[in-house]
Amino acid sequence: MMSISPKQARLLRLIGLNLGIAVAYIVGKSIGKAPIAGGFSPVWPPTGIALSALVLFGKEALPGVLLGCFSSLWTSGLPFLPAFGISLGNLAEALLGAGILRSYGFRPSLSRRRDVLLLAIPAAVLGAGVGATVGSISLGFAPPHDWGKAFDGWWTWCMEDLLGVLVVAPPILTLATQRKIRNRHPIRARLELASLFVMAGLLGYFVFGGTLGNAAVQFNLTYALFPLVLVAADRHGPRGGSLATFATAVSALLAQHLGTALSGSVAGRDYLILLAGFLALLALTSLLLAAGGEERRARSRELRGQARLMELATEAIGMASPGGRVLRLNTAARDLFGIEPTRPLRELRVVDVVAPKERHRFMKEILPQVMKTGSWSGDIVVRNLRDGTLIPTRHFLFRMDDPLDGRPEAFGSIGHDLREAQRAEAALRQTQRLESLGVLAGGIAHDYNNLLTAAMGHLDLARELVDADHPATPHLAAVTTLSERSGALTRQLLAYAGKGGAEKAPIDLHRLVGDMAELLRSTLSRKAEITLTLEPDLPMIFGDPVQVEQVLMNLLMNASEALEDRPGGIRLGLRQERLAADEIARRFPGFDLAPGTFVALTVADTGIGMSQGTMDRIFDPFFTTKTLGRGLGLSALRGILQAHQGGVEVHSEPGKGTKFTLVFPAMEG
């Protein structure tokens, strides 16, 4: 077998395309009847065929259009010169119409009323005028060269060409561009469209076939076609309307060719002129109705998409009437303002969701600016109607004006909850402050530790130089004890700074927590009920057992002291958690944790709790609420967790106890 190259395949496609256009043009000529020697037909199909081909295929269709147009040289029965002129007029008409449509952004789908008007007025009317004028001039060169009679058929020629564009071009264009029927039941839709097409043809033949024998009565029956064609346009868009109109026109041409129409009677020519006017009116009405329906459907799809986007948006979006009544809120706005999904909005005013202290500013400053400039943006406190919570927000308010008279028809708002941003900003400031304190404490502790090491060395030498019964011996021993305590203090400072020396190894937290709870049970408050909830088979963590024990002991002692010698509970828990990046950022701000699997250790008590001011400072070095405390326990805890790539989360309320949640990265395997 011979293989065809892509270039050859394209050439064959072009040849087939242009031959098809030429054949369709010639067949269209045989169906219509040229306005030559007094002939008249309501529709001249070749005009619509040539225009459609140039619109759809551009220059590729030009050879086929040329071949079809110049077929008049041997089919019109006229001498060469007038036949050539008529052919040239047909070509100029098609080129002019296609050029106008292309230059004004015409869409062949006819889904906009603008496209229908472009096709009907500049393309069809101007093109028909050019074609009829050139054709009439060409007829003047035909024997007996009667120029007066040559222009007798100018109006009918224009009408035929105009109808050729309005009746024949739309079904070709819509069938070529609207490839898919947008319907849940496409087969049913196709059957319905085919039924409407057949019904329009049958009804058209009955109406135009002259079966009643009375032109006046027959013409009145033509309006029975309007409901059928308009239903097709409404149900199936431009494709349905154009096909129903085309079927009506075909039935009229068929009746004419079969000799059953009234065009052969005395009033036949007048009847055909009225018929042409009717077909033009029917075509324009159906196309405009269909295009309007398509525009409404497109607008409806656009509005549904906008509504869906609005509903899915994480920002609070709402709309209100000029009188201040709430018209619409998306889910985020209902959540922000505490409005249940089932609650009707018509009873709600905009000022209802504004914090009481902000209402005066809202009414006197914000709304006047929106009315004057069209928009306002800034921070404003709103109120949650469900629980009364005051929420800081950043809102953008804007005015929506009526496009016809410019008066405000609604107000829109887009709001963002600032609570999370404020918490993140506060956490960042706290982290930066603690990091700077850690650098300072680490530097001081490091230098102090060097000096202390040297001092203790000299102290050891001094003790070796004196006898045990020397009067200075007890004093040297006391200095040694104090130096060791100073060393412990230094190690705590270094731990807070995350620079403490650590000997890391795999740790079984389940065993360590159980052992520490049993060991410290006698040390903790006797009125404390200790509860352990430890998940089995937890992964190991990698860390310094001594430092982890120090952290746990510190938390247990704090929990015991928070009970203040009152009956209460201390809960110890261990579980495995998988943390994503967004959850880490929300729960552990200031800690550099990688998303993954963690072992979570919780220590919770039912003690006195802490205020927000106390919680903001609990990790500061030397900050303490105890009379004899040094304020280094929790600061060292934070440093130890940072050294272990872990984090801590604290929840506490005065009178409701405190809960610490510590997370350590789980070892793989």
* pLDDT score at 83: 80
Tell me if residue 33 falls in helix, strand or coil: coil
Identify the DSSP state of 126: I
In the predicted model, residues of the chain with pLDDT beneath 70 are 1-2, 33-40, 72-73, 76, 144-150, 178-185, 210-219, 256-271, 426-452, 482-503, 522, 621-633, 635, 669
476-488 b/e (C-beta count within 10 Å ≥ 16 → b): beebeeeeeebee
List residues bridging with 665 in a β-sheet: 598
CB 237 within 8 A of CB 111: yes
Distance between CA 70 and CA 63 in Å, rounded?
11
| H/E element, 533 | strand 528-534
* pLDDT score at 110: 92
List residues bridging with 659 in a β-sheet: 604, 651
pLDDT tens column, 602-622: 999 988 888 887 877 777 766
* pLDDT score at 266: 37
Distance between CA 482 and CA 455 in Å, rounded?
12
Cα–Cα distances in angstroms (integers) from residue 448 to residues 483, 484, 565, 634, in the given order: 11, 13, 38, 21
- How many other CB atoms are found less than 10 A from the CB of residue 271? 22
| H/E element, 62 | helix 62-69
List residues bridging with 663 in a β-sheet: 600, 647
Tell me if residue 250 falls in helix, strand or coil: helix
- How many other CB atoms are found less than 10 A from the CB of residue 431? 15
